[in-house]
């Protein structure tokens, strides 16, 4: 696995992005930074290349991949004609953390990308390195998050190296990603309504602000979501640290008094304990490792930090973790969604 450091003047390569683009064109697997998380890219038209992604990640084959593009013209021949609303959303949010699920042109892509669905998720990332790579590769690039399946998504190149070294051809190191959580995945319910399949970098509030007449069906409002997930990826335990994580909801000031006795008891059983807390209360916990999400008034900072902090619990061998919940306003919706996934559904309300 080749690692290109993009901000290193001593770098051995004069044109790392060009080399990476060439690698993609010749069927290789290249991890690259985006504004959300690092992606693991392959030529979306080549089944051989795309099969490599599933293999490297250990990803279930029924979970489709997002296709990344550098310009809207790349959608010609890739997706069927789409309604005005889709066009407006692209204009407003691309490049950016929004994935649109649209009907795919049959045979335009490897069937592995869509996991046999008649639709494909497409997005244009808001990251200079990603855009340059995609435009120089010249092909649609299928790219899931560049982590081993089930592990927290990578927000640093070192996370990619940790999970995938030896399994992929290259990693472009562009430093820390911006948003820190994956893109918002939506489909169009009708000409005026979108359905959020996965909450992410673009919030419900942002959709309403951009298109005042838009109808938004939130991710939580899906009937029988557990039985028939519309976004196949949402049914898997995800983003999970190795230790058992419990999310604690309630009056924030009351959470330490609930968690500390449990942490004490776990320590007596010989377990290593961890807490994920907002800055306002990091000093109120007695766990072995207490990590700081930043201020509860700055949820964008918590989003940026979350995955790296979950990995730190793993590095320290923590077996029991409690996390403070946050408001689900704005980016908090996506943050809570990821925390709940990481907790495998272990969420406790202490004020009821």
Tell me whether strands 244-249 and 320-324 are parallel, antiparallel or unpaired: parallel
Q: Residue 63, annotated ligand binder?
A: yes
- Which residue in 52, 64, 140, 154 binds ligand TXA (CB under 6 A)? 64
Residue closer to Mg ion by CB (options 145, 231) is: 145
Rounded Cα distance between 334 and 140, Å, is 27
Q: Residue 305, annotated ligand binder?
A: no
Span of 156-164, 228-236, 249-257, 312-320 interacting with ligand TXA by CB under 6 A: 228-236
C-alpha torsion 145→147→149→153, nearest 10: -60
Beta-bridge partners for 250 = none
**207 phi and psi, to 5 degrees?**
-60, -45
Give the DSSP per-residue string, 56-90.
HHT--TTS--EEE-SSGGGGTTTB----HHHHHHH
Packing angle, helices 299-315 and 332-342, rounded to 10: 20
Residue closer to Mg ion by CB (options 145, 273) is: 145
Query: Minimum distance between the CB of residue 330 and Mg ion, rounded to whole angstroms?
Result: 22
Task: Choose from ligand TXA, Mg ion, none: what does 63 bind? Cβ within 5-8 Å by kind.
Answer: ligand TXA
Residue closer to ligand TXA by CB (options 141, 302) is: 141
Q: Does a cis peptide bond (omega within 30 degrees of 0) precede residue 95?
A: yes
Please count the residues of the chain. 352
What string marks each residue from 69 to 108 as x (binds ligand TXA by CB under 6 A) or -?
A: ----------------------------x-x-x-------
Q: Does 110 bind ligand TXA (CB under 6 A)?
A: no
Q: Which two tokens stand for residue 26?
A: 């010749």
What string marks each residue from 144 to 173 as x (binds ligand TXA by CB under 6 A) or -?
A: xx----------------------------
Q: Residue 337, annotated ligand binder?
A: no
In the chain, the N- to C-terminal Cα span, in Å, equals 51
Residue closer to ligand TXA by CB (options 168, 185) is: 185
Query: Minimum distance between the CB of residue 265 and ligand TXA, rounded to whole angstroms?
Result: 36
Query: Minimum distance between the CB of residue 145 and Mg ion, rounded to whole angstroms?
Result: 3
Q: Exposure pattern of 127-142 as b/e (b: 16+ CB <10 Å)?
A: bebbbbbbebbebbbb
Q: Residue 145, annotated ligand binder?
A: yes
Rounded Cα distance between 47 and 116, Å, is 12
Count the site residues for ligand TXA by CB under 6 A: 29
Residue closer to Mg ion by CB (options 17, 181) is: 181
Rounded Cα distance between 179 and 218, Å, is 20
Task: Choose from ligand TXA, Mg ion, none: what does 143 bind? Cβ within 5-8 Å by kind.
Answer: ligand TXA
- Which residue in 42, 66, 326, 342 binds ligand TXA (CB under 6 A)? 66
Q: Residue 110, annotated ligand binder?
A: no
Q: Which two tokens stand for residue 312?
A: 């730190």
Q: Which two tokens stand for residue 94?
A: 């691309």
Handedness of CA 79, 81, 83, 88 (dihedral sign): positive
- Which residue in 63, 74, 110, 145 binds Mg ion (CB under 5 A)? 145
Rounded Cα distance between 233 and 123, Å, is 16
Residue closer to Mg ion by CB (options 145, 183) is: 145
Span of 145-153, 240-248, 303-311, 325-333 interacting with Mg ion by CB under 5 A: 145-153
Q: Which two tokens stand for residue 339?
A: 């925390």
Give contact residues for ligand TXA (rule: CB under 6 A): 34, 36-37, 39, 63-66, 97, 99, 101, 114, 117, 119-121, 125, 143-145, 182-183, 185, 197-198, 231-234
Annotated binding site: 36, 59, 63, 68, 119, 123, 143, 145, 153, 183, 198, 239
Annotated binding site for L-threonine: 36, 68, 119, 123, 143, 183
Give contact residues for Mg ion (rule: CB under 5 A): 145
């Amino acid at each position: 696995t080749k690692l290109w450091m993009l901000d290193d003047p001593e770098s051995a390569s004069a044109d790392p992005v060009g080399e990476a683009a060439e690698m993609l064109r010749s069927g290789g697997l290249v991890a690259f930074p985006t504004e959300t998380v690092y992606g693991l890219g392959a030529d979306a038209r080549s089944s051989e290349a795309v099969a490599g992604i599933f293999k490297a990640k250990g990803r279930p084959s029924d979970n489709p991949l997002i296709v990344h593009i550098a310009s809207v013209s790349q959608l010609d021949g890739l997706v069927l004609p789409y309604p005005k609303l889709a066009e407006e959303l692209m204009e407003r949010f691309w490049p950016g953390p929004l994935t649109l699920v649209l009907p795919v042109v049959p045979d335009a892509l490897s069937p592995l990308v869509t996991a046999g669905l008649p639709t494909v998720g497409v997005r244009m990332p808001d990251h200079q390195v990603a855009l340059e790579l995609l435009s120089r590769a010249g092909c649609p690039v299928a790219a899931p998050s560049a982590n081993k399946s089930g592990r927290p998504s990578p927000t640093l190149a070192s996370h990619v190296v940790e999970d995938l070294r030896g399994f992929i051809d290259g990693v472009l190191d562009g430093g820390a990603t911006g948003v820190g959580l994956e893109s918002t995945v939506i489909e169009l319910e009708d000409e005026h309504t979108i359905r959020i399949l996965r909450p992410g970098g673009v919030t419900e509030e942002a959709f309403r602000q951009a298109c005042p007449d838009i109808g938004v069906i939130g991710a939580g409002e899906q009937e029988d979501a557990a039985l028939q997930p519309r976004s196949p990826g949402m049914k898997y335990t995800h983003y999970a640290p190795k230790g058992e994580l419990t999310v604690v909801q309630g009056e924030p000031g009351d959470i330490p008094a609930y968690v500390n006795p449990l942490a004490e008891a776990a320590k007596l059983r010989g377990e290593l304990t961890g807490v994920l807390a907002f800055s306002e209360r990091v000093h109120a916990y007695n766990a072995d490792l207490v990590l700081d999400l930043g201020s509860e008034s700055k949820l964008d900072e918590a989003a940026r930090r979350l995955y790296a902090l979950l990995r730190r619990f793993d590095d320290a061998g923590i077996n029991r973790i409690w996390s403070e919940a946050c408001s689900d306003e704005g980016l908090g919706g996506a943050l809570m969604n990821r925390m709940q996934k990481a907790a495998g559904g272990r969420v406790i309300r202490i004020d009821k």
